[in-house]
Structure 1
Amino acid sequence: MIFTLHGWSFSSSVWEGTPFSSANHLELPGHGESPFLSTDLPELSAEVASLLPNGVTLVGWSLGASVALLTAALYPQKVARLVLLAPTVKFSGVSQPEVVVKRFLKRLRRNFSEGVSFFREFCSEEAPPVGEKLNPERAVRLLESFCGLDLTRYASKVKAPCFIAVGDEDRVTCLEGAYGLFRVLPKATLRVLPGADHYTLLRRLSF
């Protein structure tokens, strides 16, 4: 069985038209009708694991990739294979300068809808306009947990084979984030997609 986890400010609709369109889609807290309560990523991974049967393929994009990796590291019986799309080993300080991250979080606190629109445009010119049901407080807390998380120590515990894909035009998690994670995962392969950005990566995948 295949389960997916989307990225921040998006929804399970991102999987339409991708190789994972028919998978079982999970939605992040603060997004849509998510059943999850915790906005702390390690705690959230426990909630995700509680919904999974043993031995699944877990696919995560962006922030969802961090949750997927945590689930595989902390609950290894649940995940037989990992697919991480546009992941990062650490968002603040690796993918983006810390000052940029802090400035964006303040921007979200001042005007959430404007900040989300800016982020979607930064992801890709092809990203759809905001149409998801978002809870501003929970969505921001989730993003704060993601920004401060260093996956290095968790990655070394992952037993499942892992496929990583990143676009060479990704301006969000960036090549540096994916390379950083690739270096610390025991069983990982990495594919860089030419001409793909943070969002269009999803539609240019092939297996």
Structure 2
Amino acid sequence: MPYITLRDGAQFYYKDWNPQGSTATVVFSHGWPLSSDAWEKQMFFLADHGIRVVAHDRRGHGRSEQTWERNDVDNWADDLSELIEKLDLKDIVLVGHSTGGCEIARYTGRHGTSRVAKMVFIASAVPRFAQAPDNPDGVPVPTIDFFRSSMLQDRAKFFIEVPTGPFFGFNRPGAKVSQGLIDSWFAVGIQGSLKAVYETTRSWENDYTEELKALDIPALVIQGDDDQIVPVKVGAYAAIKLLKKGTLKIYPGGAHAIMDTEPEGINQDLLSFIQS
């Protein structure tokens, strides 16, 4: 399996599907508490259309090494930078879902956009996820604390409740429930270290406003308006106001895991944006 060794010696797993004669390169960053496997529908579709696709397992997640330290967004950004530089990727399209949006925003804040042509934020926790006096529509910090305490008390139980309910929107009346998606989410999520998935929640309390305001490249913002994890008001609707070259796409009734619940639409959105 492909790994790179990071600056602290940690082993960092990635996938690199590179069709012969590929015309573009897309780099994916996954959400909490998953891995690169979360992107398999998009990666297969784009690679089948002649596009190189790269995705990594964030440190402490999936098949990457479970380091005790450096489970924070600044180090994630630096890890991503090392991967991009070691593979010598250029003119890439960066795509982040949920927490992955925090990672790619912080990457550009710390490393610039010299290797990035475009960005895509899907149901991303940017610019500001946590509630504050000047961000009243955000998620209350006690709710984030509940995520932390639930993981410490009974992570296995919590990692069944999240995909069964709000993550895929399966708790909505009339929802078409996929037990396979629930089981897959649990299987991938439970692979991550408790330390890493716990500390991931710290990234949700950061402010990524300046990173988004500084972006001067095209950015596509996609979200469902029934996202029960990231409120659309503090996600897509807030992000698009900050981006100089942003395009907004809202999926009516769309859930947080819109890549899985609306894969055909998301895949086509990505392909069209990449080729534009």
Q: Counterpart of 1:83 in 2: which secondary structure? A: strand
Q: Distance in 1 between matches of 2:217 and 2:66?
A: 24
CA distance in 2, matches of 1:36, 1:194: 38
1:26 equivalent to 2:56? Answer yes
Aligned ranges 1:9-20 → 2 under 5 Å: 9-18=33-42
1:118 Cα deviation after fit: 2.2
Which 5+ residue runs of structure 2 have no aligned equivalent? Answer: 1-24, 48-52, 132-136, 171-177, 270-276
Cα distance between partner residues in 1 of 2:74 and 2:208: 10
Farther off after superposition, 161-170 or 151-160: 151-160
The answer to whether residue 121 in structure 2 is matched with residue 84 in structure 1 is yes
Q: C-alpha displacement at 1:179, in angstroms?
A: 1.2
Counterpart position of 1:134: 192
Q: Distance in 1 between matches of 2:42 and 2:104?
A: 18
In percent, how many aligned pairs have the same letter? 20
1:118 aligns with 2:161: yes
Report how many residues are paired: 206
- Alpha-carbon distance in 1 for matches of 2:253, 2:40: 20
CA spacing shift, 1:148–1:141, aligned 2, 3 Å: same
Cα distance change on mapping 1:117 and 1:90 into 2, 3 Å: farther
Larger Rg: 2
TM-score scaled by length of structure 2: 0.69
- Give the TM-score taking structure 1 as reference length: 0.90
Higher relative contact order (CA 8 A, sep 6+): 1
Matched residue type, 1:29 = R
**1:37-56 maps to which residues of 2 (within 5 A)?**
38-52=70-84, 53-56=89-92
Distance 1:105 1:92 in 2: 14
Which one of the candidate residues 237, 245, 249 is aligned to 1:179? 237
SS in 1 for 2:221: strand
Q: Which runs of 4+ in 1 moved over 6 A?
A: none
- Residues 56-91 of structure 1 show CA distances to partners (whole Å, capped at 9, x for unaligned) of 111111101111122123222122110110013222
Partner of 1:68: 104
> 1:134-187, CA deviations, whole angstroms, 9 ceiling, x for partnerless residues?
11111111222x221111122122222100100111111121122112111222
Contact 1:11–1:31 (Cα < 8 Å) also in 2: yes
Distance 2:256 2:129 in 1: 14
